[in-house]
């Protein structure tokens, strides 16, 4: 059986809705799949439902941001319970931090003299079907960069570093690898965090 255990949806930085994921999975002849959105379980239940209806094996999962020894990493957690309150609290905190990274990206570029500001960013409507994340698409639409590589290679420099995964203050459970106490998922290290990734 073919399997794909690493798919993102429009709940995080992917371009496909749950319906589109399931259609692509079927078209590719994949029998077992997981969606691994960054720090959210929002599309796990709807995707599970669609998978069940068409007879696909589905593994509920998430790609969890964490900090290990000062380095940001993404940990793939498989077999999660999307209603688990402990896991959901942790992911909510991670999303708050991702929002901060987005806003801080805009703040740093504004301070460096780029013509952007937080007020315009606050009212900007992010279209998830484009993929990527809000600050990236805002900067593309402001005409300041072409894509994520351009953002990281040209706009951010040694004097304007991209906001790191450890700021502002890592929550307690992000200071060590693995899931928080009481969480029964199976954590698997993914790739080391890069701002490109």
* Residue 39 or 63 with smaller CB distance to Zn ion: 63
* Residue 82 or 107 with smaller CB distance to Zn ion: 82
- DSSP codes, 38-97: BT--TTHHHHHHHHHHHT-EEEEEEEEEEEETTEEEEEEEES--TT-HHHHHHHHHHHHH
Tell the smallest beta-carbon distance from residue 6 to Zn ion (Å).
6
Tell the smallest beta-carbon distance from residue 73 to Zn ion (Å).
12
Per the CB < 8 A criterion, the answer to whether 18 and 50 are in contact is yes
Residue whose CB is nearest to Zn ion in the complex, by number? 63
Tell the smallest beta-carbon distance from residue 65 to Zn ion (Å).
11
- Contact region with Zn ion (CB under 5 A), list: 18-26, 63-71, 134-142, 162-170: 63-71
Per the CB < 8 A criterion, the answer to whether 38 and 65 are in contact is yes
C-alpha–C-alpha distance, residues 133 and 43, integer Å? 17
C-alpha distance from residue 41 to each of 97, 99, 100 (Å): 16, 17, 20
Q: How many CB atoms lie within 10 A of CB 34?
A: 23
- Contact region with Zn ion (CB under 5 A), list: 21-29, 58-66, 82-90, 144-152: 58-66
β-pair type (186-192, 57-68): unpaired
C-alpha–C-alpha distance, residues 30 and 57, integer Å? 9
Query: Quick one: which of 63, 98, 139, 193 contacts Zn ion (CB under 5 A)?
Result: 63
Number of residues this chain uses to bind Zn ion (CB under 5 A):
1
Tell the smallest beta-carbon distance from residue 170 to Zn ion (Å).
20
C-alpha–C-alpha distance, residues 4 and 104, integer Å? 34
The reply to whether 39 sits near Zn ion by the rule CB under 5 A is: no
* Residue 63 or 84 with smaller CB distance to Zn ion: 63
* Residue 7 or 116 with smaller CB distance to Zn ion: 7
Tell the smallest beta-carbon distance from residue 8 to Zn ion (Å).
6
Positions touching Zn ion (CB under 5 A) are 63
């Amino acid at each position: 059986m073919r399997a794909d255990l690493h798919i993102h949806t429009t709940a995080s930085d992917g371009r496909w809705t749950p319906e589109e994921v399931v259609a692509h999975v079927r078209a590719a002849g994949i029998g077992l799949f997981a969606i691994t959105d960054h720090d959210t379980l929002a599309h796990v239940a709807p995707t599970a439902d669609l998978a069940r209806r068409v007879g696909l094996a589905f593994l509920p999962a998430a790609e969890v941001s964490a900090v290990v020894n000062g380095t940001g990493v993404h940990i793939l957690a498989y077999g999660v319970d999307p209603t688990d309150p402990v896991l959901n609290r942790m992911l909510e905190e991670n999303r708050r931090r991702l929002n901060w990274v987005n806003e801080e990206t805009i703040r740093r570029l504004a301070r460096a003299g780029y013509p952007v500001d937080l007020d315009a960013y606050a009212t900007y409507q992010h279209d998830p079907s484009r993929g990527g994340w809000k600050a990236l698409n805002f900067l593309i639409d402001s005409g300041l960069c072409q894509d994520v590589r351009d953002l990281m290679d040209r706009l951010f420099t040694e004097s304007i570093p991209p906001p790191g995964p450890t700021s502002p203050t890592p929550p307690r459970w992000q200071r060590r690898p693995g899931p928080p106490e009481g969480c029964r998922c199976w954590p698997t290290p993914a790739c080391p965090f890069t701002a490109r990734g």
